Amino acid sequence: MEKILIPVEGMTCGGCTSSVEKALCARDGINTATPSLEGANVEVEFDPAIIIQGQIEEAIRDAGFDVPG
Confirm whether 14 is domain-assigned.
Answer: yes
Residue 26, in any domain of the structure: yes
Q: Is residue 67 part of a domain?
A: no
- The amino acid present at 1, given as its one-letter code, is M
What's 52's domain CATH number?
3.30.70.100
- Looking at residue 3, its amino acid is K
In 8-63, DSSP assigns E strands to 30-36, 41-46
> Of 5, 6, 45, 8, which is closest to residue 27 (Cα–Cα)?
45
3-state secondary structure of 61: helix
Residue 50 confidence (pLDDT) above 90: yes
What's the predicted TM-score (pTM) here? 0.92
Domain that holds residue 45: 2-62
Q: How many domains does the chain have?
A: 1
For residue range 26-48, list pLDDT tens digits in order: 999 999 999 999 999 999 999 99
